[in-house]
Structure 1
Amino acid sequence: MTTGTAPVHTIAPPIWRRGLIATAVAAVANAVVFRIGNAAGADMTVVMAGTTASVTLVTVLTTTVLPLVLASIPTWLLARRNRRLRTVLAWAGLAVAIATIPVPVLFAPQPATGWTLATMHLIAGLVWLGSMTIGTRRRV
């Protein structure tokens, strides 16, 4: 009788499914942040080019879902040929999210709104990074 253990392999979802999972998780998390921001008194308006625009839940969901779905497509296509590229694109996504944090902070007349929207950028970037890098190491 042997007492050895069988090799354990990490089985992660395919990249396209990871993208959909990241999109769903980020959308729900950003919707929660939106509600918390509203409850905390953020007026959820931004001023760009002299025009005031209200940020609604639909706006939040659209601006969360669209970029993550659009990022998933090239990631899925490119990472099929080069597995390391998935990790590079995951970190690039987080870098873009961090680089765009100043936009809502600068264009929101109310600091609570700016930081609420900036938090949403960070959530989307971290969820993207996590979804694309989890399970990249194999254990044997």
Structure 2
Amino acid sequence: MTAHVQPYKKFKMPFNYVQVVIATFGAVITSIFVYFVSEAAGASMYFSGGLFTHLTFGEIVGFIVLPFAVLGFITFLIGRSRPGFCKIAQWIGVAVAVLSIANAILYAADPASGIGLAVIHLVVGASWYLAVNNSNKKYNEEAAASQGELVAT
């Protein structure tokens, strides 16, 4: 006996936006910790190019919270009509975070600053991936099964 899933009503909720808020909070706390550990290890957080010459923890918070809030909401809105977009957005966000590590390392005044900011980029990339996870897929399948749309053959 195998289960055959017939087309079912798609629920307009690819993921819960609260996931974005929780992942943002986690990314901010972890990044601030990495920032202060980097400074304690001797990182100057000075950069020879880019937007800022000295990066403060407040700027790191801003660079995490604003993109997560805005891009997470846009992804949520687009994902409601096209749930497959969430998977694409996950990987685009990770790619941007990982590829931007090169900029942090190239323009850092010292290796400790470059490594610290690289770790922050990795934390943000992983947090973004988890934030935009299409986690309601299982919920949608369970809801369809409870409505009798899952037929055993």
Q: State if a TM-score over 0.5 links the two structures.
A: yes
Quick one: distance in 2 between partners of 1:99 and 1:23?
20
Identity value in percent: 27
Question: Counterpart of 2:37 in structure 1: which amino acid?
Answer: I
- Does the 8 Å CA contact 1:15/1:75 hold for their aligned counterparts? no
Quick one: distance in 2 between partners of 1:66 and 1:17?
15
Call closer, same or farther: CA 1:121–1:58 in 2, change over 3 Å.
Answer: same
Question: Counterpart of 2:54 in structure 1: which amino acid?
Answer: S
> Secondary structure, in 3 states, of the residue corresponding to 2:48?
strand
Please state if 1:78 is matched with 2:50.
Answer: no
- Which runs of structure 2 are paired with 1:49-64 in the superposition (5 Å)? 53-64=53-64
Question: Counterpart of 2:84 in structure 1: which amino acid?
Answer: R
- Which runs of structure 2 are paired with 1:1-140 in the superposition (5 Å)? 14-48=15-49, 53-133=53-133, 135-138=135-138
Which one has the largest radius of gyration?
2
> Which structure 2 residue ranges, 5 or more long, are not aligned?
1-12, 143-153
Call closer, same or farther: CA 1:131–1:58 in 2, change over 3 Å.
Answer: same
- Could you say which residue in structure 2 is the equivalent of 1:8? none
> Which structure 1 residue ranges, 5 or more long, are not aligned?
1-11
Report how many residues are paired: 128
1:98-128 CA deviation, whole Å, 9 max, x = no partner?
A: 1111011001120110110111111101111
Q: How far 1:52 moved relative to its partner?
A: 6.6
> Secondary structure, in 3 states, of the residue corresponding to 1:47?
coil
> Secondary structure, in 3 states, of the residue corresponding to 2:132?
helix
Question: Counterpart of 2:63 in structure 1: which amino acid?
Answer: T
Quick one: distance in 2 between partners of 1:130 and 1:22?
7
- Could you say which residue in structure 2 is the equivalent of 1:7? none
> Secondary structure, in 3 states, of the residue corresponding to 1:53?
coil
Q: How far 1:135 moved relative to its partner?
A: 2.7
Runs of 4+ deviating beyond 6 Å: none
Q: Which has the higher contact order (CA 8 A, sep 6+)?
A: 2
1:15-64 CA deviation, whole Å, 9 max, x = no partner?
A: 32222112111111100100110111111111116x97111111111111
- Does the 8 Å CA contact 1:101/1:118 hold for their aligned counterparts? yes
Quick one: distance in 1 between partners of 2:15 and 2:86?
11
Quick one: distance in 2 between partners of 1:21 and 1:118?
22
